[in-house]
Amino acid sequence: MSGITLTNRKKVLEKKKLSFSESLYLPAIFGGMLITLKHFFMKKATISYPDVKRPFSKVYRGKHVLKRDDQGRENCTACGLCAVSCPAEAITIVADERKKGEEHLYREEKYASVYEINMLRCIFCGLCEEACPKDAIYLTEDLTPANFTRQDFIYGKDKLVQPLNESCHPKTNQPYIKDGKPYEYKNPVYTK
C-alpha cells in the first residue's frame, strides 16, 4: 500500500518548531498587512450591476424575444414545436386562426393568441430557438429581472413580442447594420 498515491501530490506535514523570528509573528503580520494594502489600491472586481452592465457573449442565452418580420408581422405560427422541445415545460401556447383584416399583424394563417414562458421554469437552454422553423423565437442578451411574486415571472406576449418600430438583430437585440449604416426600421404601410 505504501508509496502508492492517487495524485502524487501528497505532502507529509511535519510540525517544526518555529524559529525565533517566526515565533515573534510580527514579520508575518507585517507581510500580511502589505498584501492587504496592495489590494486596497487595486482595481475593484465589482461591477455596479444596474448602472454598469457587463458585456455578454454573442451566444448568451437570456430573455426570449418573439420576432416580427420586416413588415412588422409576428413570425410565430403557433406550431408548438418550441413547447414540445422545451425540457422544462415552460412554454404554453394557445393557437388561434387569423381573421380577415389581421394580415398586417400575423404572417401566417395561424398565430399564437397566448404565448407564455414561465421564467422560473425556463432553464435558458435555447432548444426552443433551435426547434423553431419560422425564425420566431430567439434568446437575447437581456436578463430576466427579479420580481416579487411568482405570477410576475410568467411572461406573456406583452413582454416577449419584439416592440414595433424596432429592428434588431435576432441574437443581440442590437440594430442591424446595413451598408455600414444602422438600418432604421420603418412602419410598414398596409393597403387593404
Contacts with other proteins, residue ranges (CB under 8 A) = 29, 32-33, 35-37, 39-40, 42-46, 48
Q: Min. distance of Cβ 78 from other proteins in angstroms? A: 44
Q: Min. distance of Cβ 139 from other proteins in angstroms? A: 30
Q: Which is nearer to other proteins, 4 or 42 (CB)?
A: 42
A 10 A CB-CB count for 134 gives: 17
Q: Min. distance of Cβ 110 from other proteins in angstroms? A: 49
Q: Which is nearer to other proteins, 44 or 192 (CB)?
A: 44
Handedness of CA 43, 49, 50, 55 (dihedral sign): positive
> Which three three-digit cell numbers place residue 23?
515565533
Q: Which is nearer to other proteins, 10 or 38 (CB)?
A: 38
Query: 82 by DSSP, 3-state: which?
Result: helix
Handedness of CA 163, 141, 127, 69 (dihedral sign): positive
Length in residues, the chain: 192
Q: Min. distance of Cβ 48 from other proteins in angstroms? A: 7
Whether the CB-CB separation of 80 and 94 falls below 8 Å is answered with no
Cβ neighbours of residue 94 closer than 8 Å, sequence gap 6 or more: 78, 112, 113, 114, 115
Q: Min. distance of Cβ 35 from other proteins in angstroms? A: 8
Q: Which is nearer to other proteins, 49 or 148 (CB)?
A: 49
Closest-CA residue to 140 (of 157, 120, 161): 161
Q: Which is nearer to other proteins, 146 or 189 (CB)?
A: 146
